[in-house]
Structures are given as C-alpha cells and as structure tokens.
Amino acid sequence: MTRTLRLSALLVLLASPTMPGAIQSAANAQVQAQAQAQLGYQSITSEQAPSWSRDAAQELLTYVEHIDQEGLNPADYNPDRLRAALAGSDDAQLTQVATPIFIHLVQDLSGGAVRGRARVEWHMTDATLDAAGQQRLLAQVTHGGGVGAALDSLLPTHPQYAGLKRALAATPESDTARRDLIRTNMERWRWMPRTLGPRHVLVNVPAFTAALVDEGHVTARHRAVVGAVRTPTPQLNAQITAVTLNPWWNVPQSIIQSQGGHFGAGYEVNRSASGGISVRQPPGPRNALGRVKIEMPNQWAIYLHDTPSQALFGRASRAFSHGCIRTQNVRDFAALLLAPTGNWSRAEIDRQIETGQNRQTALAHPVPVYIAYFTAAATSDGDIVTYADIYGRDAPVRAALRHAAATSVQQASAGN
C-alpha cells in the first residue's frame, strides 16, 4: 500500500508546475517502472501515450475546475500546470501534463481519493478502475473526446451520493463543518462497490440499522446493535447464503481468552492435547446468538443474528456487541430473506424454532450484504440527517482530504 501511495504522489508531482523538465523526464521513467511492477500495467510515456487534443485538454481543465462539486479540491489536480500547458504551443508537453492529471482523476473518482490508514477497518471490494480500464478510458477520451462524460461514468450511482452532492451544493462555503461532513461521506460512497445488487442488505453502523433493499426501495429496516468502541464492527461486504434457526454459538478465541477459559454451566468446553480450548454454547433461549443467525461467510466472522438481550434495542445509542450485528425482529428479517424459497413464512420459522432443533436453510439466491459506515445521509427534501461518529472515523478521512489539498497548494506556491 505504501508503494502504491508513493506512486500516486509521483503521478501528482508529474503534473506540478514546479517540476523542471529534466526531473520530470526522470520521474516519468520511475513511474513507468513502478506502475508496471505495482499496478500490473505499463505506465504511459510521451512516446506511447495517446496524444491530447487541445479541445479534450480544455474539457479536462474545466472538469478539474468544477471538481469541488464532487467534494474534492481542484488544487489536488494541478489546474495551473494544465492551464499553462494549454497556453503554450508544445503539444507533447500538453500530453505529458494532461495524462497524469486524467489518471489521477480516474483513480479518485472510481475508488476514492483517500487511501491507506485513513480507511479505518474498511474492507469493501475496491471499486477503483483497474489499470487496463484506465488505459482504455484514456484512449477513448483522447481519440473521441467526451472527457466529462467519461469521468462522470466513474462516479457512484447510488441515490445517496446524488443526494449528498445536492446537499453540498446547498451548503454555504462558510459552513465548513457541515461541508466537511458531507464531503467525508461522499468520499465513502466512492469507496463502495458501484453496483450493490437489485436485492441487498445495507447495515449502517453509526445509524444502528440494518435495511433490506429491493430494486432501490427499502422494504424492511430493523434496529441493530453494533460493536462496542473497544470491539468495533469492521466495514465489509459479503454474501448472505443461509439462515440458521436455533444456532450453536462457537465462542471466538478472543472471548475465550478474555474469560480465561472459564465458562459457566451450559457451555461445552473442549481442551485439546496441546492445551488449546474451544467453547460452544448449545441452542436455546440463553444462546448469545438468540434463535436466528444470518449466515454470511467472511474472514472477520461478522454476521447478523438474534439476541436474548432485547432491551438494548430500546437504547438510542446501541454500540454494545463484540462486533457482530444484533438485529431486532430478526425472525421477520429471516422470513423476507427466505421468501423466494417459497417454504419459510414467519409462522413456519416460529414452529421450527419451537422444536429447539438446529436447522440451516439456504437462501434461494445469495443476497449481498454491505456493512458500511456513514455519518450523514441525504433526505428526500435535500437536507441531511447525521449520526454520531461512534468510532471516531470521520477525522482521518477529513484530515486526508484536507492534507491532499494543502500539499497541492504548497507545491503551487513553491513555484511562484
């Protein structure tokens, strides 16, 4: 990741108005070598890059000048250098300047401008356009134009992104706190997969909710209990594959260690010859998973489930779990997920639970689930609703967005 960030920084420097020609040529060669090794594609040199027409480069400049509409800062994309290249007569130099700016935009719009540590516990599938796609898009715009349309095609298509964009446009420049909040959450949408699926589950951790979405409409929204601050819920996407009724609870090793291997009556404790301990809790009304578990295999062992601690759903702030998502009225939720099988109504689920027998039933088709972290959401009237930043994850994103802008301004000032 560090090497990739260095490469991205070098691409930005290539478009800087303060970089002398000789250094720029050397930097171009370095980008070519690093990109081939790290990103899996052959970087673009002046000899092999598609040439930019002045009309296309002007369209690129116009897009950069209005990039603040997307919650990004124009200064991050070195408009002064592109402006200067357009004012000159060297077409080869114009291509050298325009190409890294365009690639930088493609990467930021398709997968987000903030990378690395600022994406705390974010494990969603990366939406960044791959290297081959970047090359194809570059060839498309340099040969046929349509720079703005090509870049717009990379943006999130979810209605929430458009709603936040409208809210940003309606927020005065003087209201920096609100603008920063909106920009932070627009950036997170750029981290999300572009297609969530016609039927999917979206969990928003700061909102303490789990929603089932069908064809763009929320068909069910349930209160949720999420990870406590000391055991935060990670952000990830997975596939819901099955529902387990009367589940066993395989106690995570982290909890076993915190308990010192000591558990009360009702737990099965197994000790291996090597001294290892495994613990599980049988199905029943006191089971930590309650009576329903939503199966969604993932390496973090995070899933949605029932709970015997129903009173927690009445709290305004619901960050109490070890990381999994406790879901209110989860039997109704399970019935909706299983409805396409044609076999499992809510009444049938209740009857199976009453038997006390453990049973797992596969969904008719896997349903994507996204456990996300949004501290602001757009409303239908053009406003936003905000949620507490329970894990303090806004500040790193906000700082990263500001740092990129400050770095670009410092680079430009150094050349004056």
For range 229-254, the mean pLDDT: 96
How do residues 98-131 score in pLDDT, each as one tens digit? Answer: 999 999 999 999 999 999 999 999 999 999 999 9
Any alpha helices (H) in 46-196, and if so which ranges?
Answer: 54-65, 79-87, 91-111, 131-144, 147-152, 159-170, 176-191
Q: Across the strands, what pairs with 213?
A: 200, 218
What pLDDT digit, counting tens, does each position of 13-51 carry?
Answer: 333 333 333 333 343 434 333 433 333 333 444 445 799
Q: Give ∠ CA 294-225-229 in degrees, rounded to 5.
A: 120
CA 348 to each of CA 106, 307, 330, 345, 353: distance values in angstroms, whole numbers, following the listed order: 50, 20, 14, 5, 9
d(CA 109, CA 67): 10
% the chain with pLDDT above 70:
85
Per-residue pLDDT for 194 more than 50? yes
121 dihedral zone (left: phi>0; alpha: psi -120 to 50; beta): left
pLDDT, position 39: 34
- How many other β-carbons are positioned within 10 Å of the β-carbon of residue 288? 18
Q: Helix count (H) and strand count (E) of the chain?
A: 13, 15
Answer yes or no: CATH 2.40.440.10 is held by domain 207-248+283-372: yes
Reduced to 3 DSSP states, what percent helix, strand and coil does the chain have, rounded to the nearest 5? Answer: 45, 20, 35
* Largest distance between two CA atoms of the chain: 83
Average pLDDT for 217-229: 97
Tokens matching residue 262: 């000591």
**Statement: residue 295 has pLDDT above 60:** yes
- Distance (Å, whole) CA 100 – CA 28: 10
Domain boundaries, the chain: 2-161+388-414, 207-248+283-372
User: What does the pLDDT look like over 156-184, one tens digit per residue?
Assistant: 999 999 999 999 999 999 999 999 999 99
State residue 33's pLDDT score.
37
Q: Report whether pLDDT(312) > 90.
A: yes
Query: pLDDT-derived band of residue 272, with 50, 70 and 90 as boundaries?
Result: confident
Residue 310 scores a pLDDT above 50? yes
Query: For the chain, how big is the Rg over CA atoms in Å?
Result: 25
Q: Please enumerate in sequence order all residues whose Cβ is within 8 A of that of 89, keeping only pairs 6 or more positions apart, or say none.
A: none
